[in-house]
Structure formats: C-alpha cells, structure tokens
Structure 1
Amino acid sequence: MHTVTCARINRAPIRSPSSWNSSTRPVPVVSLAVGGDTREAAPGDEFRLESDMRDFFIRTGDTLTVTIPGTIIPAAAAPVPLTGSSVKMKVEKMSVCLEGDELPQSLKVPLAYTAGPYTTPGQGALTLTLTPANKTSKTKCEGKYILIKGGDFTAKFDVSTPAQQPGSPPTSDPQLVKNGIAKFATTNTTSKAG
C-alpha cells in the first residue's frame, strides 16, 4: 500500500462485484496526489480511504441551502454553489471541498435581509457551524478535514443594521440574532469518506 496525500492506494486487480466488501470496493473516478504528481484513478487501481467510508464527499458544484425561518436573505434564497479548494484531491475531476469551503465567497460579505413586516432591507453576516457528521473525522487533505454530506447543521445570521418596518417613525427589527439550519446537497453518488 502506498501513502498518498489524501488517501491510500492499493494496487490490486479489481475483483468482480460479488467479491467486493466495504474495505475493498473500488471508488470510481478519484484523482489523488502520489509523490508530487496528481493522476486520475487508472483501471486496476483500488482505493480505500483512511476512514470508515461514512458519507459522500462534497465537491465543486455541489450546493449549500440555508434556511432562517421568517427571514429572507436574497443572496441565499436559492441553493448556492460551493467551490472546492483542494488542489490535490478531486472526485470525478472536481476539487473536493475542505473545511472552510462551507461558506461560499458570495455569502461572506454583508448580506441584505428582510423579515416579516420589516420590509426595508437591513444587513447582517451569516455564519455556519458544521457538525462532526459534515466533515471527515480522521482523513485530512492539505491539512484540513474534508467536507462530507452529513445532515443539517447550524446557520446563524447576526444583524448589523436592522431591517425597518415602514411608518412614521419606522420601526427597527428587534431580533438581532436569527438562528436557522443549513445543509449540503451533492450530485456525487459514488465516493465517500468518514
């Protein structure tokens, strides 16, 4: 077995599907850094990650959905595409997302929002808190844990400028911290890690 940057590789012939088990089933179309070279899996290569193969990798093109009840954040109203920062690990030719990639650049800036009767937009900042189920527990790539699908995790919107309810005088939104949930969606249905 050869040690590689993000996983381990067994060079063994691929067996028939009836002989596969959870530790020997090939993971299709994975690019790995071996030595200093990155290459795509070749026929006959067999992969086993350093973890228990728990959930699907998150990669470039997968999406983040944020739900803050009673609050409309136009920049996060539809699923937002993620961009993986890994240069050494790819799944189906797309960079894997590492810890820190969970909040896209478009959501790291002050965001406009409205809430219920407070229809004159205010501003705030979005933060996400991953659970252990949303990142690998042992496997690291480029010094960071790898994002995996997992379940819902915490989203928090901290208001810096409250939205206003029109009137004379206008009324400010009194809720300065808004809690919600976020989740990943992936089109990756083949490659997992834990």
Structure 2
Amino acid sequence: MAKLMLTTALLSLVFVVIVAGHDESPSCVYSVMEQMLEKMFKLRTRMDEWERRFTELEDQVNKTKIRTPIVAFRALLTKSLKNVNKGTLIKFDDVDFNLGNVYNDGVFTTPYSGTYLLSTTLGNPTGHPGEFNLKKNGEKVEYNVAGHTNGFNVGGVTTVAKLNAGDKVWVEGSGSITGPYEISGYYTSFSGFLVNRI
C-alpha cells in the first residue's frame, strides 16, 4: 500500500512537471502519463519477481550449508609413568589447545553427535613396552603399542568414530608410558576434533 501511494505521488509530480513544461494538449500529456505508468508497473513486477527468486535462492543456500561447530583438542604427557596397571586412565597434563572446552581431566566429552577423528601416540624406548587402549564409554575403540622393538619407537593410531552427544572418550594405559625423552619434545599425546555434525 505504501509503495502504491509513493508511486501515485511520483506520477502526480511528473504530471505537474510535464504540464508546466509543455504546451501539448491534456490528452497528449495523459497519453505520455499512461505509457510511463505502464512501464513503471512492468518494472515493479519484474523487481518483485527478482526479489522472490533471490529469496528462494538464499533459502536454498542456507538449507544446504553445513555448519560444523569448532570442536578440537590436543593434549600431551609431560611426565613418564612406569609400571602402569592395566586399565589406568592416562591424564595428559599439557593441553595444547581445547576448543569448545571438551577435554577435561583426561576425558574428552563430545558436545554434539557426529563423526570425530581421534588420535593417540605413545613413544617408548627399547625395553620399556607399553600400550594404549582408546575407550569410548568403557568400550575399546583402538589399540596401539610402543617400546617392543629396538631403539626409541612411537606407536600411534588414528581413527574416525561416530559419537553421540555426551559420549566420553579417554585413553587407558599399561606398562611403561613415556612423556618427555632425550630428544627435545613430547611423544605421547591424545587429540581429536569434530569432522561433521549429524
């Protein structure tokens, strides 16, 4: 309604300008006005159609967008643990980053249902064998070992898991669990991130 009133007001103004500036007869002026009015309505119709199409396209784009929240963590072990009993929760004490505050006191709690990438590494020297069990709600997901061969070796495993919101994931260790080593750096870690929300 407001657009129609504005259009009428503009046409009235144009009419006044045309009448004031030309000596043509009123019928000629009205003919020009009719043509202008017809063109304006056609233009308005086209604009409405383009606006409708744009809105539909915008809705389609928004529906197809996959918005994955940022969830990621990486934690390292800065101390060595010896004679670790099987089933002991390993608390990685140096949290490199913790986006979403999802890793706390050794346990990763999933904030969303989705597919997650999870990874653990265990570095041990010769003669100090150890093992890791990656657990989800108490059930084994993956397994890795280190220290069973000559020299310093690192055992690692990376997997993709479908997890539900509120699931808890942690690492249990046994044997020897080495944190720092002679070569500068930490070789024992636990990390993960959300790939897709489902």
Task: Report the TM-score, using the length of structure 2 for normalisation.
Answer: 0.25
Return the structure number with greater helix share: 2
Tell which structure's C-alpha radius of gyration is larger. 2
